[in-house]
Structure 1
Amino acid sequence: MTDAVGVEPVLDIQNLRVTFQTNDGPVAAVRGVDISVSKGETVAIVGESGSGKSQTMMAAMGLLSDNGRAEGRVLYRGEDILGLPLKRLNTVRGARITMIFQEPMTSLDPLYSIERQLCEPMIEHGGLGRKAAAARALDLLKLVGIPAPEDKIKAYPYELSGGQRQRVMIAMALANDPDVLIADEPTTALDVTTQAQILELLADLQKRIGIAVVFITHDLGIVRRIADRVVVMKDGEVVEAGQTAKIFDHPAHPYTRMLLDAEPEGEKPPVGEDKPIVIDGQKVGVSFAIPRGFMKQPVLFHAVEDVSLVVREGQTLGIVGESGSGKSTLGRALLQLLPHSGRVHFDGQDISNAGKQVMRPLRRQMQLVFQDPFGSLSPRMTVGQVVTEGLLVHEPGLSAGERDRRACQVLEEVSLDPAMRNRYPHEFSGGQRQRIAIARTMVLKPRLVVLDEPTSALDRTVQKQIVELLRGLQAEHRLTYVFISHDLAVVRALADTVVVMKTGKVVEAGPTAAIFEAPRDPYTRDLIAAAALEPMHGRVVGA
């Protein structure tokens, strides 16, 4: 079989089927998929969570879980590697075919230095001695653009930023000069500028080394920039495939058209200046003492410096910036979850560094929604228990029946079936878990909600649904949002005003339209350029 341009493929997947044995019987995750990629080509596999795109490539690599079974053919340079004995398979995967996973922090061992983790595949698969592997490891860190590689090679994963960890994962994948690089959502958790740097790095390495790249993603903006061909998957099947330009300009399948239309759009209707101020921060600063070792004075690190902001009832303030810019730290300082300098007023009351007695009755009014709902929802509690947990603290007099009634009501409000309340978080999709996290917040009827990257790990279609949900809840309950994100498309669709942060400081602030249409600061212009946003449509949502 040859690819779309008639070149013999390096990797050729034919009629692949993947089935998982579960307590409820067999589940077909991949249904007769054909995908090929040639030397120097980038093929993007796109689709929503559960479409089968990751399982397709996990099967090709022989990495399915114990309850999974794959059938079909996976040809690497003409040899069928599906079902090969482990010893023979290990001469291919990790050496000739390598994979970069979505979250580098879970793929890198926290107990081993970067050098050791880079050297192991070269010693295991490449046959290098330790000295040669160490020299090659340093060269790889230089190749992928790690700053101060001589220092970073001795570091541990937690000492590196998200972008640096992802570069280390790319270096590991390239260690043995592979023919095929499979990248599974490698930029999802990264801010837009780091994301752009990683994509540029992959494109540059591909040109220099000539590897074939399979890029798995739900972000169609990335696909348009990097892919030669696109494969669209839904429910384990390929519903459309072809050259990238053709797929984007003339999508044939309704599902492809839906994915392309999933970008959050519109602008928020303005909130009048006569609305009461809900949160008011003046010259807020947060510093941390960084220990330097025995008998040395700690260094004071200023995570947030002299930030002032005002948010009125019904408004959304978007806080954007790269990882490490201080945006999440600022959000926690506003909620009095971190000690800070400066003043913070909530509904006119000075709560600056207030104690537990003052804050306890206010906590239900000031809520936080986290980036990763799976990590913030207890796996031992049912959804009903998760949603009503706060009521046990703030309304202890409620009966069990009343709490259950409130759980049903709020689950309906976030478009979840109340009958699901007796199930556990692991039984839900990422988008559903985020709705549960929002329901847990909404059951307390708050005034202010700080949303910290609540959509960054979600598919674009699910992101759009969450954005619409948040808009509806805000309009109905006159909620005030502080929305922290590196996803500028979502911020543009939700926010009245935007604060742009860099290294703890505000570099630019103003109305959303002004920031996106005429950014003044070079840093803001770089963020917007890196996001590669579609032009604003000028449609005001809810107007």
Structure 2
Amino acid sequence: MTDQTNQDRVFEVDDIHVTFDTPDGKVEAVRGVSLHVDRGETVAVVGESGSGKSQIMMAAMGLLASNGRAVGAVRYRGQNILNLPPGQLNKLRGAKITMIFQEPMTSLDPLYTIEDQLSEPLRVHGGLTRAQASARVLELLRLVRIPDPERRMKSYPYEMSGGQRQRVMIAMALANDPDLLIADEPTTALDVTIQAEILRLLAELQRKLGMSILFITHDLGIVEAFADRVYVMRQGRLEEDGPTARIFHAPATDYTRMLLAAEPEGEKPPVPDSAPVLLQGQDVEITFGKPGGFLSKSNLFKAVKGVDLTLREKQTIGVVGESGSGKSTLGRGLLQLLPAAGRVIYLGRDINGLTRQAMKQHRDGLQMVFQDPYGSLSPRMTVSEIVTEGLLVHEPGLTRKERAARAAQALEDVGLSGAMRNRFPHEFSGGQRQRIAIARAVVLRPRVIVLDEPTSALDRSVQKQVIDLLRGLQEEHALSYIFISHDLAVVRAMSDYVMVMKEGKIVEEGPTAQIFDAPQQEYTHSLMRAAFDLKSLLDAG
């Protein structure tokens, strides 16, 4: 190794092992992995869910769960930072090394405004005054394309969409112009047009600051467009590594070839018009904020504007649109998880405005899989307790043994071993947690499931498994889905009808083939173009 190489080497992982102590024994998450990142370089770490990608970085940043242990070496600018005391590590974290986490809702404090949370690293590490920090926060929100940033900096995390929360996390990571940015699935919750904006922004800052980027992702389209080199991981080990062009055009292993070939396939035939209607929304509107008073200004914001929707038995309606378009808000309103105006009719009865007690009889039939699985899974409950919680409420006559059997079967159905049921959520990868969330919903055998970005945290090979699973469950139990996603390839494979949302309104809808092959609106056309040609979109910027 030359002196120049030593000088340029920003980050290095040397033979790292990560293990977790669980009730079922030791789990080896990472098994002797070595990798490095040089100055100004973008390096991607890819692999299937559970391959150990994120755990390497959690160990490096001193963020492993209490039952986790790491051995080996992690060097920043030649200094071994693995297992540094928190006081010494804090001088690097948030300043020289920053990290964008996979699940923004659990990384942002629900009790503090966006301005407060972005200001903290600026004041602690940058020494800015309150006024200077506030001005920098506004600048950062504009950089990551948060709409209406003056208003949004006063918002709380729960008032923002998943994509907007992810952009806040990116802004926080970039606040102090870091030397190394570790990005763990930083664009998972973002639609493709915003992905391209964020990636262009990162590339621009990288050129300006000489920043290095370590990019952990399952999205191979982003890797091909953005990374200089790639490490491929499988079951905690390094499978292969090399320049991006070589990995994509001449992969050395069957596993890498499988990853590159994994794309959602097939199409869902439309249901007949004679199929029973399960759920209808009529002129649904959802508004946030409070009306103005004598001395106060109104801060009302209409997130969903007059939406009509009809969902039939065994139908899948895909709802697509950019981050913040109102997709998730609409789904929550239809399930009465948010107050809504208009009518919501389930099995012939208007359920809009029912009390919580009155809605209880419908909850087992109306389920939701949330976008952020870690935020929706209690960290204090085992997977078995999480999956069987609904059975305790809706099927109280089941014995403990019967509930355990149902939980084990539900986990097997979503591709997880029933033997994992005694573990806690933090012991799973992001993709595995999403499958647990799906198991929790399907264990009740509902009639309607709203799936809010159910595959966004999953790599392509696991996405195919989950799509097959959802299709099988739909056929077996006559399920109906409202499938909310920014991943248009998955929507095309899953849905027989598509609704396109923009700024709270439906701007186009129709059978899937019509929307994808002959879109009528320029907005829809731009979404399709962006989704299937990210590299061109990046180059165009």
Moved more, 20-29 or 298-307: 20-29
Are residues 1:251 and 2:225 paired? no
CA distance in 2, matches of 1:253, 1:383: 34
Shift, 1:513, TM fit:
1.7
Give the 3-state SS of the residue equivalent to 2:308 in structure 1. strand
Evaluate the alpha carbon distance shift between residue 86 and residue 498 of structure 1 in structure 2; reply closer, same or farther with a 3 A threshold.
closer
Are residues 1:184 and 2:181 paired? no
What is aligned with 2:484? 484
Shift, 1:321, TM fit:
1.9
Shift, 1:471, TM fit:
0.5
Are residues 1:308 and 2:302 paired? no
CA distance in 2, matches of 1:82, 1:316: 47
Q: What letter corresponds to residue 212 of structure 1 in structure 2?
A: S
Shift, 1:505, TM fit:
0.8
Are residues 1:16 and 2:32 paired? no
Shift, 1:43, TM fit:
1.1
Evaluate the alpha carbon distance shift between residue 30 and residue 300 of structure 1 in structure 2; reply closer, same or farther with a 3 A threshold.
closer
What is aligned with 1:222? 222
Shift, 1:209, TM fit:
2.8
Any conservation in 2 of the 1:180–1:214 contact (CA below 8 Å)? yes
Any conservation in 2 of the 1:9–1:36 contact (CA below 8 Å)? no
Q: What letter corresponds to residue 211 of structure 2 in structure 1?
A: I
Evaluate the alpha carbon distance shift between residue 294 and residue 51 of structure 1 in structure 2; reply closer, same or farther with a 3 A threshold.
farther
Q: What letter corresponds to residue 286 of structure 1 in structure 2?
A: I
Q: What letter corresponds to residue 70 of structure 1 in structure 2?
A: V
Any conservation in 1 of the 2:41–2:228 contact (CA below 8 Å)? yes
Q: What letter corresponds to residue 55 of structure 2 in structure 1?
A: Q
What is aligned with 1:71? 72
Q: What letter corresponds to residue 196 of structure 2 in structure 1?
A: A
Q: Deviations over 1:426-458 (max 9, x none)?
A: 665555554444444444443222222222223
Give the 3-state SS of the residue equivalent to 2:486 in structure 1. coil
CA distance in 2, matches of 1:195, 1:149: 19
Superposed, 1:385-464 pairs within 5 Å as: 386-397=386-397, 410=410, 413-414=413-414, 430-464=430-464
Moved more, 383-392 or 148-157: 148-157
Give the 3-state SS of the residue equivalent to 1:290 in structure 2. coil
Superposed, 1:112-151 pairs within 5 Å as: 121=121, 124-125=124-125
Q: What letter corresponds to residue 331 of structure 1 in structure 2?
A: G
Any conservation in 2 of the 1:13–1:75 contact (CA below 8 Å)? yes
What is aligned with 1:368? 368
Evaluate the alpha carbon distance shift between residue 128 and residue 323 of structure 1 in structure 2; reply closer, same or farther with a 3 A threshold.
closer
CA distance in 2, matches of 1:86, 1:388: 38
Give the 3-state SS of the residue equivalent to 2:8 in structure 1. coil
Larger Rg: 1
Gaps of 5+ in 1: 535-543
Any conservation in 2 of the 1:292–1:299 contact (CA below 8 Å)? yes
Give the 3-state SS of the residue equivalent to 2:265 in structure 1. coil
Give the 3-state SS of the residue equivalent to 2:240 in structure 1. strand
Q: Deviations over 1:500-537 (max 9, x none)?
A: 11122100101112212222222222323333369xxx
Give the 3-state SS of the residue equivalent to 1:520 in structure 2. coil
Are residues 1:279 and 2:279 paired? yes
Any conservation in 2 of the 1:325–1:501 contact (CA below 8 Å)? yes
Evaluate the alpha carbon distance shift between residue 130 and residue 531 of structure 1 in structure 2; reply closer, same or farther with a 3 A threshold.
same
Q: Deviations over 1:267-324 (max 9, x none)?
A: 1133233322332333333334525577437554333222222222221111122333
What is aligned with 1:505? 505
Give the 3-state SS of the residue equivalent to 1:325 in structure 2. coil
Superposed, 1:45-64 pairs within 5 Å as: 45-61=45-61
CA distance in 2, matches of 1:373, 1:259: 24
Q: Deviations over 1:180-207 (max 9, x none)?
A: 3222222223333333321121122223
CA distance in 2, matches of 1:358, 1:138: 44
Any conservation in 1 of the 2:49–2:462 contact (CA below 8 Å)? no
CA distance in 1, matches of 2:28, 2:312: 50
Moved more, 410-419 or 231-240: 410-419
What is aligned with 2:200? 200
Q: What letter corresponds to residue 447 of structure 1 in structure 2?
A: R
Any conservation in 2 of the 1:10–1:180 contact (CA below 8 Å)? no
Q: Deviations over 1:389-425 (max 9, x none)?
A: 4455445555666656655665555555556656665
What is aligned with 1:473? 473
Shift, 1:251, TM fit:
1.6
Give the TM-score normalised by the residue count of structure 2.
0.82
Any conservation in 1 of the 2:19–2:30 contact (CA below 8 Å)? no
Evaluate the alpha carbon distance shift between residue 364 and residue 130 of structure 1 in structure 2; reply closer, same or farther with a 3 A threshold.
closer
Evaluate the alpha carbon distance shift between residue 138 and residue 10 of structure 1 in structure 2; reply closer, same or farther with a 3 A threshold.
farther
Evaluate the alpha carbon distance shift between residue 15 and residue 493 of structure 1 in structure 2; reply closer, same or farther with a 3 A threshold.
same
Shift, 1:44, TM fit:
0.9
Q: Deviations over 1:30-49 (max 9, x none)?
A: 44433233333211111233
CA distance in 1, matches of 2:402, 2:154: 57
Moved more, 145-154 or 431-440: 145-154
Shift, 1:264, TM fit:
1.8
What is aligned with 1:516? 516
Give the 3-state SS of the residue equivalent to 2:501 in structure 1. strand
Gaps of 5+ in 2: 535-541
CA distance in 2, matches of 1:171, 1:411: 36
CA distance in 1, matches of 2:415, 2:82: 42
CA distance in 2, matches of 1:114, 1:436: 30
Evaluate the alpha carbon distance shift between residue 54 and residue 419 of structure 1 in structure 2; reply closer, same or farther with a 3 A threshold.
closer
Superposed, 1:206-355 pairs within 5 Å as: 206-292=206-292, 295-296=295-296, 298=298, 300-353=300-353
Evaluate the alpha carbon distance shift between residue 498 and residue 149 of structure 1 in structure 2; reply closer, same or farther with a 3 A threshold.
closer
Shift, 1:488, TM fit:
1.9
CA distance in 2, matches of 1:395, 1:126: 55
Evaluate the alpha carbon distance shift between residue 2 and residue 114 of structure 1 in structure 2; reply closer, same or farther with a 3 A threshold.
farther
Any conservation in 2 of the 1:2–1:9 contact (CA below 8 Å)? no
Shift, 1:80, TM fit:
5.4
CA distance in 2, matches of 1:419, 1:107: 29
Give the 3-state SS of the residue equivalent to 1:70 in structure 2. strand
Evaluate the alpha carbon distance shift between residue 172 and residue 351 of structure 1 in structure 2; reply closer, same or farther with a 3 A threshold.
closer
Any conservation in 1 of the 2:45–2:217 contact (CA below 8 Å)? yes
Give the 3-state SS of the residue equivalent to 1:71 in structure 2. strand
**Length, aligned pairs only:** 532
Evaluate the alpha carbon distance shift between residue 349 and residue 161 of structure 1 in structure 2; reply closer, same or farther with a 3 A threshold.
closer
Any conservation in 2 of the 1:288–1:303 contact (CA below 8 Å)? yes
Any conservation in 1 of the 2:102–2:430 contact (CA below 8 Å)? no
CA distance in 1, matches of 2:173, 2:382: 40
CA distance in 2, matches of 1:511, 1:215: 36
What is aligned with 2:537? none
CA distance in 1, matches of 2:527, 2:40: 29
Q: What letter corresponds to residue 321 of structure 1 in structure 2?
A: G
Shift, 1:468, TM fit:
1.0
What is aligned with 1:538? none
CA distance in 1, matches of 2:127, 2:341: 56
